[in-house]
């Protein structure tokens, strides 16, 4: 058991540090530091342009998606080196939020199911941020029950014709491509009639409508498909094998999110250090101390769990469903922390103006964004189901739709 | 970075697991629980034969110097099997205190016999029904003898000697070694929430004792250092207990049917067990980190120990409590083992000072700012 860098790791770290010191957009440092959860601030600069600029610079220097093979725009780095990169990139990593879905979920799916030509064509610009990808899975009628989706794909010669609607598609409005799961056969049980594609988001018949989120931002969209044509060559996996393909995406989703998970603890700790409470200090209040201890235990537990997963990964083990605990713990915790932190500040805690609010209003931003963490990428309840069934081996839930052809399944609102 | 136990360490765990599976079944636990034995001597003998008391003791004092990570995994197995032995008192507390603060002569005198499991030691602190503070210690040391009483000493009825926190001449606190076999020492069993662990009160009447080490006024801070180390090891026992309680719940939920289906298919129970698993995983990872800090003598040990301790208390209490819930009425019978885990989880919570005390220590030890 050893927590320090090996000699190779230390050498790698100093190489990374030197490069970042030279290349990082230091002019964004203060804005990024004051960024609230779910809204990356870049001050007077345009966020998407800055994100793309930094990503391209990393790519040119050989520091984008470093775990990918070199031929696809990566560096062929080890998982541990990738962790070290993340630690050293620090605040500037916030700029990469735009690319997480494409690089963390779409790319592994392409790597597993795309043709060689596709990988050569699409992966390098995905790594360099020149092309952005989105994930077109959820639909109005199917979120948790993803396999209940209805967007139709019908074959017409060498093409497929798509009709239907996706929803909650993060970043669709700024995306060049997307991976799309569709129903190709409604007459077989739901998991068996699905097929995966990728498509150009500028294809005729694609309409994107932004949705205003509860926290006032607009990160996700509705996407409509009206006779959109996709060449069969852009199919990923077999016809009817879409569910299998989607599992690759979803497994990587948990890793992509789980690795860089925010809990709100550092922000809370910094606030508490100097916060007055009653006639004393918040840090001396027994209720505050008890919660602080509990949340520290959780955030340290997540950090240490990630370190164990990383060790397993570097020994060639495949990360399993146990990684579901990351988002499950972090989401609820962030929501609790934000609520408690505001409560300690009285009515003043309600203020969201970063010029007035403590900690640049980062805790208020968390209060308003954290409900989404408990929904996106698998709700708290779905994650508990996964832990119960796939980790603990408890029996499956009784399913009203089991073995029934998709078009005979009862549906509600 | 390599955040896992080595193959050798895991092998020791496996050997201890095998021995305990054979010797420390529910019957062995119950023979102590129901008062037929003061501790499970057959289990203790098995541990002696495997030499595990010597695990972390350096070779010069009769140990094998295999290091703390191995000892942590031994502790985990003892916890999983609810081993009713004085292992924690003797190994995590008495042995550690001697290693940290004993004079060379004291180490030579006690450690080889502790390593061989020939003698059993313990630590005596608590005097009142309240959280122990430095001010709460009245037991006196004067003219080479201890006088006064300790209210409850884990394994106090079994141990051959104790390290006793006492006040010298009405002044400073120190840790004193005393032989518990002497006539001036009176011991009386105390009934607790967990009768599968011996607990006794001990009264001293000018019983001869010797200062541990050379500093007569460092008792309180020495105690904290010993507790930090023991906290890591005890946390592994709690981890083992939590895992065993969760396993028990999962197994029962698969076999028991209600409303025509296994109760483990009810989502309320599935989610309850998922939460037990989450608490256990967080505790496990925090314990691993603390094991590393203990093994390497890292400056992070105080914070890592408090973190592991708080997480392990939470996990074992939750798993033991909800294991009863999963079992329904069966869970509340004397016959089923659920209550043995429930009792042990609550005893171990208190053994080194309870949750609130360790939460407080944890917060005291957090670095300032966001770095935490
Ligand atoms: C900010 C944000 C970004 C997102 N980005 C994307 C994206 O880029 N691409 C994409 O495809 N999707 C995206 N989503 C969609 C997300 O994956 C779904 O919202 C999520 O899976 C839940 O589905 P739903 O909204 O249909 O809720 P429902 O599935 O209708 O769930 C409603 C409630 O029922 C509960 N429930 C459902 N089934 C069960 C069950 N079996 N057991 C117990 N409880 C159950 C849920 O836990 C929830 O509480 C995003 C969502 C958010 C909030």
Q: Is residue A366 pLDDT above 60, yes or no?
A: yes
pLDDT (0 to 100) of residue A162:
98
Residues B270/B297, Cβ–Cβ less than 8 Å: no
Work out the average pLDDT over B212-238: 97
- Domain end, chosen from B85, B100, B131, is at B85
The two structure tokens encoding residue B329: 């009425």
- Contacts of residue A280, defined as CB under 8 A and 6 or more positions apart, other chains included, come to none
- Give CA–CA dist A236/A31, Å, rounded: 40
User: Distance (Å) from the C-alpha of residue A153 to the closest C-alpha of chain B?
Assistant: 35
Residues A184/A195, Cβ–Cβ less than 8 Å: yes
Q: Do A397 and B5 touch (CB under 8 A)?
A: no
Q: Would the CA dihedral through A109, A114, A117, A122 be positive or negative?
A: negative
Q: Is residue A252 pLDDT above 90, yes or no?
A: no
Q: Do B226 and B210 fall within a single domain?
A: no
Closest chain B residue to the Cα of A314, Cα to Cα: B2
User: Interface pTM (ipTM) of the complex?
Assistant: 0.95
Instruction: Assign 3-class secondary structure to A365-408.
Output: HHHHHHHHHCCCCCCHHHHHHHHHHHHCCCCCCCCCCCCCEHHH
Q: Do B274 and A392 touch (CB under 8 A)?
A: yes
Q: Is residue A317 pLDDT above 90, yes or no?
A: no
**Has residue B35 been placed in a domain?**
yes
Over the stretch B52-100, which tens digit does the pLDDT of each residue have? 999 999 999 999 999 999 999 999 999 999 999 999 999 999 999 999 9
pLDDT-derived band of residue A256, with 50, 70 and 90 as boundaries? low
pLDDT-derived band of residue A379, with 50, 70 and 90 as boundaries? very high
Work out the average pLDDT over B312-335: 98
B227 HSE (CA, 13 A, CB side): 22
Q: Where are the domains of chain A?
A: 7-131, 134-241, 261-378
Q: Do B154 and B169 fall within a single domain?
A: yes
Residues of B in contact with A399 (CB under 8 A): none
Work out the average pLDDT over B181-187: 98
CATH code of B327's domain: 1.20.140.10
Q: Is residue B271 pLDDT above 70, yes or no?
A: yes
Q: Identify the residue with better confidence: B337 or A218.
A: B337
pLDDT (0 to 100) of residue A31:
94
CATH code of B174's domain: 2.40.110.10
The DSSP secondary-structure symbol of A176 reads S
Count how many pairs of residues, chain A against chain B, have C-beta atoms within 8 Å: 159
To probe the interface with B, which of A87, A394, A400, A402 has the most B CB atoms within 10 Å?
A: A394
**Has residue B370 been placed in a domain?**
no
Q: Is residue B370 pLDDT above 80, yes or no?
A: no
Work out the average pLDDT over A270-295: 95
- Give CA–CA dist B302/A259, Å, rounded: 27
State the distance between the two ends of chain A, measured CA to CA, in whole angstroms. Answer: 53
Q: Do B250 and A394 touch (CB under 8 A)?
A: yes
Instruction: Count CB neighbours of A11 within 10 A.
Output: 11
Q: Does the Cβ of A381 fall within 6 Å of ligand 1?
A: yes
Q: What is the mean pLDDT of chain A?
A: 93
Q: Does the Cβ of A165 fall within 6 Å of ligand 1?
A: no
**Has residue B104 been placed in a domain?**
no
Atom of ligand 1 minimally distant from the CA of A377: 17
Of B2, B69, B281, the CB nearest to A311: B2
Q: Do B227 and B349 fall within a single domain?
A: yes
Going by C-alpha positions, the residue among B289, B310, B314 that lies closest to residue B301 is: B289
Query: How much is the pTM?
Result: 0.96
Over the stretch B141-156, which tens digit does the pLDDT of each residue have? 999 999 999 999 999 9
pLDDT (0 to 100) of residue A413:
66
CA A88 from chain centre, in angstroms, equals: 20
In sequence order, the β-bridge partners of residue A206 are A225
Q: Is residue A258 pLDDT above 60, yes or no?
A: no
The two structure tokens encoding residue B250: 């999962």
Q: Do B272 and B152 fall within a single domain?
A: no
The two structure tokens encoding residue B190: 């105390």
Over the stretch A166-217, which tens digit does the pLDDT of each residue have? 999 999 999 999 999 999 999 999 999 999 999 999 999 999 999 999 999 8
pLDDT (0 to 100) of residue A4:
82
- Helices A79-89, A286-314: crossing angle, 10 deg rounding: 140
In sequence order, the β-bridge partners of residue A285 are none
Atom of ligand 1 minimally distant from the CA of A135: 9
Residues A341/A291, Cβ–Cβ less than 8 Å: no
Residue A43 φ/ψ region, left for φ over 0, alpha for ψ in the -120 to 50 degree band, beta for the rest: left
Over the stretch B115-125, which tens digit does the pLDDT of each residue have? 999 999 999 99
**Has residue B112 been placed in a domain?**
no
**Has residue B107 been placed in a domain?**
no
Q: Which of A78-82, A87-91, A202-206, B3-7 has the highest mean pLDDT?
A: A202-206
pLDDT (0 to 100) of residue B372:
53
Closest chain A residue to the Cα of B290, Cα to Cα: A304
**Has residue B236 been placed in a domain?**
yes
Q: Is residue A253 pLDDT above 90, yes or no?
A: no
Residues B199/B153, Cβ–Cβ less than 8 Å: yes
DSSP secondary structure letters along B95-137: IHHHHHH--HHHHHHHHHHHHTTSS-EEEE---SSS---GGG-
Q: Do B355 and B271 fall within a single domain?
A: yes
Residues of A in contact with B306 (CB under 8 A): 293
Radius of gyration of chain A (CA): 22
The DSSP secondary-structure symbol of A189 reads B
Of B6, B273, B291, the CB nearest to A392: B273
Using the structure block, give the residue that is written with the tokens 């496990």.
B284
- Give CA–CA dist B113/B252, Å, rounded: 43
H helices present in A202-285, as ranges: 242-259, 265-273
Instruction: Count CB neighbours of A85 within 10 A.
Output: 22
Q: What is the mean pLDDT of chain B?
A: 97
The DSSP secondary-structure symbol of A2 reads B
The two structure tokens encoding residue A254: 């948990």
CATH classification code of A261-378: 1.20.140.10
H helices present in chain B, as ranges: 7-23, 26-33, 41-50, 68-80, 87, 96-101, 104-115, 219-255, 267-296, 301-327, 338-351, 355-365
Distance B116 CA to ligand 1 centre (A): 59
Q: Do B210 and B231 fall within a single domain?
A: no
- Give CA–CA dist B223/B138, Å, rounded: 16
Is residue A283 less than 8 Å (CB to CB) from chain B?
A: yes
Residues A13/A84, Cβ–Cβ less than 8 Å: yes
Residue with CA nearest ligand 1 atom 31: A144
Atom of ligand 1 minimally distant from the CA of A142: 26
Work out the average pLDDT over B181-198: 98
Over the stretch A95-141, which tens digit does the pLDDT of each residue have? 999 999 999 999 999 999 999 999 999 999 999 999 999 999 999 99
Instruction: Count CB neighbours of A151 within 10 A.
Output: 23
Q: Do B185 and B126 fall within a single domain?
A: yes
Work out the average pLDDT over A388-404: 92
Q: B163 in helix, strand or coil? A: strand
Q: Does the Cβ of A144 fall within 6 Å of ligand 1?
A: yes
Radius of gyration of chain B (CA): 21
Question: Among A79-83, A95-99, B324-328, B336-340, which is the least confidently predicted range?
Answer: A79-83
Closest chain A residue to the Cα of B271, Cα to Cα: A384
pLDDT (0 to 100) of residue A79:
83
Of B253, B281, B370, the CB nearest to A322: B281
Q: Which domain holds residue B141?
A: 121-217
What is the tally of structural domains in chain B? 3
Q: Do B178 and B307 fall within a single domain?
A: no
Over the stretch B254-269, which tens digit does the pLDDT of each residue have? 999 999 999 999 999 9
In sequence order, the β-bridge partners of residue B189 are B200
Q: Do B205 and B235 fall within a single domain?
A: no
Distance A393 CA to ligand 1 centre (A): 23
Q: Do B72 and B55 fall within a single domain?
A: yes
Q: Does the Cβ of A180 fall within 6 Å of ligand 1?
A: no
The two structure tokens encoding residue B7: 């193959």
Q: Percent of chain A scored above 90 by pLDDT?
A: 82
Which residue out of A250, A375, A411 has the highest number of ligand 1 atoms within 8 Å of its CB and is therefore the one to mutate? A375
Instruction: Assign 3-class secondary structure to A343-359.
Output: HCCHHHHHCCCCCCCHH
pLDDT (0 to 100) of residue B330:
97
Q: Do B284 and B325 fall within a single domain?
A: yes
Residues of B in contact with A311 (CB under 8 A): 1-4
Q: Is residue B18 pLDDT above 60, yes or no?
A: yes
Using the structure block, give the residue that is written with the tokens 């708080």.
B310
Q: Kindly give the pairing relationship between strand B121-124 and strand B161-168.
A: parallel
pLDDT (0 to 100) of residue A38:
79
Going by C-alpha positions, the residue among A160, A155, A47, A22 that lies closest to residue A99 is: A47
Residues of B in contact with A265 (CB under 8 A): 372
Atom of ligand 1 minimally distant from the CA of A138: 11
pLDDT (0 to 100) of residue A260:
63
Closest chain B residue to the Cα of A399, Cα to Cα: B265
Task: Give the C-alpha distances (Å, rounded to integers) separating B54 from A52, B85, B169.
Answer: 59, 16, 36
Asked if the domains at A7-131 and A134-241 fall in one CATH topology, the answer is: no
Q: Is residue A251 pLDDT above 90, yes or no?
A: no
- Give CA–CA dist B34/B200, Å, rounded: 16
Q: What is the dihedral of CA B15, B16, B18, B20, to 10 degrees?
A: 170
CATH classification code of A134-241: 2.40.110.10
State the distance between the two ends of chain B, measured CA to CA, in whole angstroms. Answer: 20
Residues A126/A133, Cβ–Cβ less than 8 Å: yes
CATH classification code of A7-131: 1.10.540.10
Q: Do B187 and B288 fall within a single domain?
A: no
């Amino acid at each position: 058991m050893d927590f320090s860098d090996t000699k190779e790791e230390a050498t790698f770290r100093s190489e990374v540090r030197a490069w970042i010191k030279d290349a990082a957009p230091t002019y964004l440092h203060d804005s990024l530091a004051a960024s609230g959860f779910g809204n990356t601030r870049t001050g007077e600069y345009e966020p998407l342009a800055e994100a793309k600029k930094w990503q391209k610079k990393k790519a040119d220097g050989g520091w984008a998606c470093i775990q990918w093979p070199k031929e696809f725009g990566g560096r062929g780095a080890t998982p541990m080196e990738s962790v070290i990169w993340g630690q050293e990139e620090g605040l500037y990593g916030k700029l990469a939020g735009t690319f997480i879905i494409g690089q963390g979920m779409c790319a592994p799916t392409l790597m597993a199911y795309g043709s060689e030509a596709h990988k050569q064509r699409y992966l390098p610009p995905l790594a360099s941020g020149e092309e952005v990808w989105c994930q077109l899975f959820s639909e109005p009628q199917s979120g948790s029950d993803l396999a209940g989706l209805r967007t139709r794909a019908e074959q017409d010669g060498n093409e497929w014709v798509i009709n239907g609607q996706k929803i909650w598609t993060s970043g669709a409005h700024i995306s060049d491509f997307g991976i799309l799961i569709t129903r190709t056969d409604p007459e077989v049980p739901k998991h068996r009639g699905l097929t995966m594609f990728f498509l150009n988001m500028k294809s005729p018949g694609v309409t994107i409508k932004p949705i205003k989120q509860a926290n006032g931002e607009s990160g996700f969209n509705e996407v409509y498909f009206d006779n959109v044509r996709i060449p069969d060559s852009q199919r990923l996996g077999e016809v009817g094998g879409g569910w299998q393909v989607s599992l690759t995406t979803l497994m990587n989703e948990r890793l992509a999110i789980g690795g860089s998970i925010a809990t709100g603890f550092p922000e809370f700790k910094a606030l508490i250090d100097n916060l007055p409470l009653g006639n004393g200090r918040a840090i001396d209040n027994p209720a505050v101390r008890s919660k602080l201890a509990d949340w520290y235990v959780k955030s340290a537990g997540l950090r240490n769990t990630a370190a164990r997963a990383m060790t397993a990964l570097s020994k060639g083990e495949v990360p399993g469903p146990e990684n579901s605990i990351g988002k499950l713990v972090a989401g609820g915790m962030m929501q609790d922390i934000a609520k408690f932190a505001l409560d300690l500040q009285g009515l003043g805690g309600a203020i969201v103006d970063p010029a007035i609010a403590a900690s640049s209003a980062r805790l208020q931003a968390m209060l308003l964004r954290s409900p989404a963490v408990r929904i996106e990428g698998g709700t708290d309840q779905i994650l508990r189901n996964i832990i119960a069934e796939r980790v603990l081996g408890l029996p499956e839930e009784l399913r009203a739709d089991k073995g029934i052809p998709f078009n005979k399944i009862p549906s509600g609102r | 970075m390599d955040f896992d136990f080595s193959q050798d360490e895991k092998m020791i765990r496996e050997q201890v697991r095998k021995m305990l599976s054979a010797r420390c079944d529910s019957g062995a636990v119950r023979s102590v629980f129901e008062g037929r034995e003061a501790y499970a001597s057959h289990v203790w003998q098995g541990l002696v034969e495997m030499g595990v008391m010597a695990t972390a003791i350096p070779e010069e004092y009769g140990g094998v110097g295999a290091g703390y990570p191995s000892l942590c995994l031994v502790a985990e197995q003892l916890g999983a099997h609810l081993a009713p032995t004085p292992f924690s008192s003797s190994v995590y507390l008495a042995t550690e205190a001697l290693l940290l603060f004993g004079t060379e002569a004291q180490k030579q005198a006690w450690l080889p016999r502790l390593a061989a499991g020939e003698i059993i030691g313990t630590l005596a602190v608590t005097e009142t029904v309240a959280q122990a503070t430095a001010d709460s210690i009245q037991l006196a040391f004067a003219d080479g003898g201890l006088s006064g009483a300790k209210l409850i000493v884990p394994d106090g009825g079994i141990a051959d000697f104790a390290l006793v926190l006492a006040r010298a001449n009405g002044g400073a606190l120190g840790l004193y070694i005393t032989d518990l076999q002497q006539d001036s020492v009176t011991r009386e069993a105390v009934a607790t929430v967990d009768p599968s662990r011996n607990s006794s009160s001990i009264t001293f009447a000018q019983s001869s004792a010797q200062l541990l080490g050379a500093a007569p006024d460092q008792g309180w801070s020495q105690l904290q250092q010993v507790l930090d180390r023991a906290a890591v090891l005890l946390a592994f026992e709690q981890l083992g207990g939590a895992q065993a309680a969760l396993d028990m719940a999962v197994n029962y939920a698969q076999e028991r049917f209600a409303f025509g289906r296994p109760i483990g298919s009810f989502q309320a129970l599935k989610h309850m067990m998922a939460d037990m698993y989450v608490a256990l995983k967080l505790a496990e990872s925090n314990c691993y980190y603390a094991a590393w800090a203990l093994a390497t003598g890292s400056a992070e040990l105080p914070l890592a120990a408090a973190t592991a301790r708080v997480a392990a208390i939470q996990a074992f209490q939750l798993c033991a409590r909800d294991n009863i819930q999963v079992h329904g009425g069966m869970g509340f019978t004397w016959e089923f083992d659920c209550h043995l885990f429930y009792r042990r989880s609550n005893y171990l919570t208190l053994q080194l000072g309870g949750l609130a005390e360790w939460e407080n220590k944890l917060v005291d030890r957090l670095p300032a700012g966001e770095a935490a």
